[in-house]
Amino acid sequence: MTVSVAETVDVAIVGGGITGLAAAWAAHKRGLRVQVLEARGTVGGKIRSEHKDGYLIEWGPNSFLGSATAIWQLVEELNLQGEVITGAPPGDRFIFRNRLARRLPSGPGDFFKNNDFMTLSGKLRMMCEPFVFGDARETDSLLDFARRRLGPEAAQYLVAPFVSGIYAGDAEQLGARDAFPQLWQWEHESGSVVMGALLSSGKKAKPQTPKRRGMFNFKNGLGTLPFAIAAALPAGSVRTATAVDEVTGNADRTWTLRCHATKDEAATSEVRARHVILAAPPQISARTLPQDPALTPVREALDGVQLCRVAVVHFGGADKTQVAPKGFGMLIPPGEGLRTLGILFPSSVFAGRAPAGHYLHSGFLGGARDPDAAELPDDTLLSLVQRAQEQAFPQTAGDALGLDFSQVIRWRDAIPQYRVGHRERMTLARETLHRAMPGVTLAGNYLDGISINDSAASGIAAVERLFPENNLVTTRRSA
């Protein structure tokens, strides 16, 4: 049975992750009628927080930054300021090297003192960055770029693990210009990343809002945000458990979205919309497009985006003798003999993540370099992460730390990989779609950055592209 939703909405949004919800909120603020269609039973996509056995775990993202302007704007507009919590300073970060965790310097003054994360010659080579000839090429991989700018040691022990920590990615495959466009641009324009950063900070207008530093979350986890957006939209604006299968054009320049209920494939429905934002993962957005040859470049570009698999291993227990490492977490460079990519220490950063006297840590495995690790059995994953922790922090070995909680989360489409040429392929996809299906646009974490802030900004930008004339209705409040 197919049910048609009678009224034509101004904008239908496919996907109720942070991209789709931020788009819905931006459209609603402009006085537009919105319909979000989300395949899962709940909104949030990768953002999901869960209270379990006294612990609070994050299925996907675990924090946002002070510079996350799109997220802060949502926080203010939804009156969530009282829910935000700040990560505890000083937030030590560690790199695993030669069988031990080594503390990263907390600032330039600390760079040569009291730390052994790199050899003296590696540090001196890094300091030469402003004097190394600028040779930015569009085809640079991130590893090429890092070796040229910072030297081989920093490339291996800083950049490669950093890239694992953000993209779960492979620095040899990611494009420097695609994954870190600002750094690449600084070298391209000023011949050096340091010089480019200095020149650009001189040109920047002073921010009007106070600068927020550090990592942030909500008392009840990041899931607070998508739920708050969905609750603030008019009733009926968000339909969960509804997967969109196809978007087709009508003679009156509207679009029909054919959907099915995810719990009952035979229960189909249709939504009619004047505009459509495709905010689902790229391969799914590709599948909803009509089989028009003009759209082949769009389908090929979206299908070609590599999404890596990641397993997140949360584990916690009593820390009677206070041996659990404190700080933000540890990254593990490739080639150090461990399959774990890194371990975060959420209970040391944010309040309320573990019962009193207990720790909660989160290990990450899989990613672009070792995707099959994400499929290992739960017990194997847990023991790999515990082994990595015990090697890095020997004080935690044996029975020093209790273990009364563990949970493994697996993502098959965790993080898009911005490989060399990615941004050009996505620009082509966007422009071709715009010509072939005017009124339909793409948004999501595979377009303009992977963070939740970039994703929200991508959703908001999609609304601004579709409805430039409605911008004046924006109700943005200042901080």
Which residues are at the interface with ligand FAD (CB under 6 A)?
Answer: 14-20, 37-40, 45-47, 60-64, 243-244, 279-281, 284, 310, 312, 411, 414-415, 444-445, 450-453, 455
The residue among 26 and 284 lying less far from ligand FAD, judged by its C-beta, is 284
Instruction: Give the shortest CB-42-to-ligand FAD separation in angstroms.
Output: 8
Angstrom distances, CA of residue 145 to CA of 222, 241, 424 = 33, 44, 19
- What are the residues whose beta carbons fall under 8 Å from the beta carbon of 51, sequence distance 6 or more? 220
The residue among 95 and 257 lying less far from ligand FAD, judged by its C-beta, is 257
Instruction: Give the shortest CB-45-to-ligand FAD separation in angstroms.
Output: 2
Q: Are 36 and 303 in contact (CB under 8 A)?
A: no
Instruction: Give the shortest CB-105-to-ligand FAD separation in angstroms.
Output: 22
The residue among 38 and 170 lying less far from ligand FAD, judged by its C-beta, is 38
Q: Which of 335, 399, 321, 391 is nearest to 363 (CA)?
A: 391
Instruction: Give the shortest CB-126-to-ligand FAD separation in angstroms.
Output: 26
The residue among 143 and 310 lying less far from ligand FAD, judged by its C-beta, is 310
Instruction: Give the shortest CB-312-to-ligand FAD separation in angstroms.
Output: 5
The residue among 63 and 156 lying less far from ligand FAD, judged by its C-beta, is 63
The residue among 60 and 175 lying less far from ligand FAD, judged by its C-beta, is 60
The residue among 284 and 382 lying less far from ligand FAD, judged by its C-beta, is 284
Query: Residue 258's beta-bridge partner residues?
Result: 246, 270
DSSP for 28-88, please give it: HHTT--EEEE-SSSSSBTT--EEEETTEEEESS---EETT-HHHHHHHHHTT-GGGEEEPP
Instruction: Give the shortest CB-244-to-ligand FAD separation in angstroms.
Output: 4
Quick one: residue 265, left, alpha or beta (phi over 0 = left, psi -120 to 50 = alpha)? alpha
**Cα distance between residue 52 and residue 342, in whole Å:** 23
Instruction: Give the shortest CB-280-to-ligand FAD separation in angstroms.
Output: 4
The residue among 63 and 432 lying less far from ligand FAD, judged by its C-beta, is 63
- Reduced to 3 states (helix: H, G, I; strand: E, B; else coil), residue 406 is strand
- Angle, helices 18-29 vs 452-466, to 10°: value is 40
Please give the structure tokens belonging to residue 230: 């969905």
**Cα distance between residue 458 and residue 451, in whole Å:** 10
- Angle, helices 160-167 vs 142-150, to 10°: value is 140
Strand positions, DSSP E, 60-211: 64-65, 84-86, 93-97, 100-103
The residue among 19 and 192 lying less far from ligand FAD, judged by its C-beta, is 19
According to DSSP, the β-strands at 2-14 and 264-278 are: parallel
Instruction: Give the shortest CB-289-to-ligand FAD separation in angstroms.
Output: 12
The residue among 151 and 165 lying less far from ligand FAD, judged by its C-beta, is 165
Please give the structure tokens belonging to residue 167: 């993209």
**Separation of first and last alpha carbons in the chain:** 49
Query: Which letter does DSSP use for residue 167 in this model?
Result: H
Instruction: Give the shortest CB-179-to-ligand FAD separation in angstroms.
Output: 13
Instruction: Give the shortest CB-202-to-ligand FAD separation in angstroms.
Output: 28
Instruction: Give the shortest CB-119-to-ligand FAD separation in angstroms.
Output: 30
The residue among 94 and 446 lying less far from ligand FAD, judged by its C-beta, is 446
- Reduced to 3 states (helix: H, G, I; strand: E, B; else coil), residue 309 is strand
Query: Which letter does DSSP use for residue 175 in this model?
Result: B
